[in-house]
Structure 1
């Protein structure tokens, strides 16, 4: 199975790509350092060609309220549009346990907070019944 990991060279993404490859999947890291920019869309469609699944573990470059919301809105919209064009069957978005309860923090509102600010999660699964948002917490 071909799996593209958005944010695949970051802390979580790098480990995920390695794990998927160890299990026999064709896992590909997609990030600015591999020529994929989810904000501008540069390289995105090419990276998703032939993919069965996209796993989005990207992290915003800023934690400030406005920029983080804009990052997740724009990047996720671009990823979802490219997935549709490339015929990707599944989208998995990684989120944070409790993000929906920390609405006073801009990053958490953008990541998975309450109401209309759930930019990443809402866009990732809109009109796509077979997609998922996984919320994880740090292990001790």
Structure 2
């Protein structure tokens, strides 16, 4: 099977490509560096020839509200048009749990727009909504820091390891399209501030995490269940302690 992975050299993309190639599939790891650009349209027509599945893992280089909306709308339209012309049978896209519940987050609004384009395209699809990746915990702490104080909401949080995300993406890509959404999350759920405090302690970061119900998450207010699945979800196998052990071993 020929599978095109847009964003195939990124964190999730590179892991997904490796899994699919181990299964002896023909995989195109598409990125602007390889001459395949979902924003300009460069190389898309050629990449899609003979492809049965396209996995969209592209991400905006800017998180500014207008820029990120423009990115996902432009990229989505270009991809779906090229896929329709090539007869692609399954469009898989990685999205985010809770995007419809946090309308004041510009990035989340852009992902909602991306999902609407997919739904309206007529191409069989599966949208995978994921919770935040464990790999970004350090960046989240830094973005929420004021000096040595990190202010975070006590809302529930359920981060997932990138290895688990990639495993699900590869599995979904080889399955029958759902023409719907599957949600994925890590195996452990706890207050946001507790998880980040545990991470900082484990990596020897001396910053203090303070529980602040008014703290924003990339501009969005966090309620108790804003960032976790509300219903059934596929859970990853790698807990935070195991992920920390693997990360330390690979350092």
Q: Which moved more, 1:4-13 or 1:130-139?
A: 130-139
In 2, Cα distance between the equivalents of 1:73 and 1:134? 18
In 2, Cα distance between the equivalents of 1:125 and 1:10? 25
Aligned residues: 134
Which ranges of 4 or more aligned residues in structure 1 deviate by more than 4 Å?
Answer: none
Task: Output the TM-score relative to the length of structure 1.
Answer: 0.90
In 1, Cα distance between the equivalents of 2:108 and 2:77? 18
In 2, Cα distance between the equivalents of 1:125 and 1:24? 30
1:7 aligned residue: 7
Matches within 5 A, 1:42-61: 42-61=42-61
Checking the alignment, whether the CA contact within 8 Å between 1:125 and 1:132 is kept in structure 2 is no
In 1, Cα distance between the equivalents of 2:127 and 2:69? 17
1:3-60 superposed Cα distances (whole Å, 9 cap, x missing partner): 1001101111111000111122111111101101111101111111110000001111
Deviation at 1:130, TM superposition (A): 2.1
Bigger relative contact order, structure 1 or 2 (CA pairs below 8 A, ≥6 apart): 1
Checking the alignment, whether the CA contact within 8 Å between 1:91 and 1:125 is kept in structure 2 is no
2:21 aligned residue: 21
Checking the alignment, whether the CA contact within 8 Å between 2:2 and 2:26 is kept in structure 1 is yes
For residue 46 of structure 1, give the secondary structure of its aligned residue in structure 2.
helix
Task: Output the TM-score relative to the length of structure 2.
Answer: 0.52
Instruction: Name which one, 1 or 2, has greater alpha-carbon Rg.
Output: 2
Gaps of 5+ in 1: 112-117
For residue 41 of structure 2, give the secondary structure of its aligned residue in structure 1.
coil
1:81 aligned residue: 81
In 2, Cα distance between the equivalents of 1:40 and 1:130? 24
1:122 is aligned to 2:94: no
